[in-house]
């Protein structure tokens, strides 16, 4: 069960519409290392996680990623909501506009729609937590790249916040991997899958 | 909305204390015995309850299970979190 709080986890207050920035930031909405994929990855993986403490962590981080999806949605809304048709053409937003007007649609910056092929849920704690650590690093790199491409301080501020969260999540997943390893056979901890043994 | 600046100020306080709790929650998930973190979480929880109560009284609901109905239905109206209600 989820509840909704009518607030953003971190404030977004962008004064200047900017279609070019929206075109790249949309990748963190529905792109390969975006917040939607992150949330679905963790919230799906947790069912096969034998350690309840780690399943709980996946629930909490998966939930926070939904809040991040909302932050990215707010950024896209504020960047594109007041664009004029001239700006849409001039800033190359016309190819998006023709399909979605200025609605928020989960896709990568390249235009590829969100697909679950961006993520895995392998049903093996070591494999899944290793993927999660990599996913946090990839998302951090995407935010680094966004920071190289935008110069409006109103955009930079929430993007920096989201980047920092990736680093914290990476740290927590590393600790969770340690918790899973501690429970396995220390001599050969990847010899079997603790989520599917003796079957 | 009237008192937009004051509403934003209170919303920001809720945002800050909630974020501290979000961060502490993840930390406690992997460090459940850390007494300093446990205490920090509990302190902020009390502060947050008071702030949410004050906000709900003055400006309407943040939490769909905690809606004050004395003046009607305040849940699905303004301000929506992704809009810049105070400037435009």
Map out the domains of chain A as residue ranges: 19-183
Domain of residue B20: give its range.
1-88
Domain A19-183 carries which CATH code? Answer: 1.20.1260.10
pLDDT of residue A187: 63
In A, minimum Cα distance to B87 occurs at A15
Rounded average pLDDT over A179-185: 84
pLDDT for A44-98, tens place per residue? 999 999 999 999 999 999 999 999 999 999 999 999 999 999 999 999 999 999 9
Which of B8, B10, B16, B29 to probe by mutation at the A interface, max A CB count within 10 Å?
Answer: B29
- What pLDDT band is residue B1 in, cutting at 50, 70 and 90? very low
Contact call for B84 and A13, based on CB within 8 A? yes
What are the angstrom distances between the C-alpha of A132 and each of A20, A76, A120, B16, B30? 30, 26, 9, 27, 16
Instruction: Collect all residues with Cβ–Cβ distance below 8 Å to A119 and sequence separation of at least 6.
Output: A37, A40, A41, A44, A131, A135
**Residue A5, phi then psi, degrees to nearest 5:** -105, 130
Instruction: Collect all residues with Cβ–Cβ distance below 8 Å to B26 and sequence separation of at least 6.
Output: A57, A60, A61, A64, A168, A169, A172
Q: Is A74 part of the contact surface with chain B (CB cutoff 8 Å)? A: yes
Q: Which residue has the higher pLDDT, B78 or A131?
A: A131
Is the pLDDT assigned to residue B88 strictly greater than 50? no
Q: Is A197 part of the contact surface with chain B (CB cutoff 8 Å)? A: no
Q: Is A113 helix (H, G, I), strand (E, B) or coil?
A: strand
- What pLDDT band is residue A188 in, cutting at 50, 70 and 90? low
Residues of B in contact with A179 (CB under 8 A): 30
Is the pLDDT assigned to residue A185 strictly greater than 90? no
Number of separate domains in chain B:
1
Contact call for A4 and B81, based on CB within 8 A? no
Distance from A92 to chain B by nearest Cα, in Å?
24
| DSSP state for residue B88 in the 8-state scheme | -
Q: Rounded mean pLDDT of chain A?
A: 95
């Amino acid at each position: 069960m989820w509840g909704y709080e009518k607030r953003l986890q971190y404030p977004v207050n962008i004064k200047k519409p900017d279609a070019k920035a929206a075109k790249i930031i949309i990748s963190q909405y529905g792109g390969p290392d975006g917040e939607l994929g992150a949330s679905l990855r963790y919230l799906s993986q947790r069912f096969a996680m034998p350690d309840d403490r780690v399943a709980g962590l996946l629930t909490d981080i998966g939930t926070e990623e939904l809040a991040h999806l909302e932050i990215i949605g707010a950024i896209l809304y504020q960047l594109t909501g007041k664009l004029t048709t001239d700006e849409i053409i001039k800033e190359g937003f016309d190819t998006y506009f023709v399909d979605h007007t200025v609605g928020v649609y989960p896709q990568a910056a390249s235009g590829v729609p969100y697909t679950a092929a961006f993520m895995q849920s392998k049903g093996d704690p070591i494999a899944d937590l290793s993927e999660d650590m990599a996913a946090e690093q990839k998302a951090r790199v995407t935010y680094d790249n966004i920071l190289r491409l935008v110069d409006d301080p109103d955009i930079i501020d929430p993007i920096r916040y989201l980047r920092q969260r990736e680093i914290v999540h990476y740290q927590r997943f590393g600790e969770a991997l340690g918790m899973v390893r501690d429970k396995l056979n220390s001599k050969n901890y990847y010899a079997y899958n603790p989520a599917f043994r003796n079957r | 909305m009237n008192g937009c600046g004051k509403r934003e100020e209170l919303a920001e306080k809720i945002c800050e204390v909630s974020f501290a709790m979000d961060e502490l929650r993840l930390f406690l998930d992997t460090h459940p015995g850390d007494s300093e973190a446990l205490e920090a979480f509990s302190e902020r929880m009390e502060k947050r309850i008071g702030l949410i109560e004050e906000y709900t009284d003055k400006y309407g609901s943040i939490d769909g299970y905690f809606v004050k109905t004395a003046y009607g239905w305040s849940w699905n109206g303004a301000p929506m979190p992704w809009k810049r209600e105070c400037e435009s």
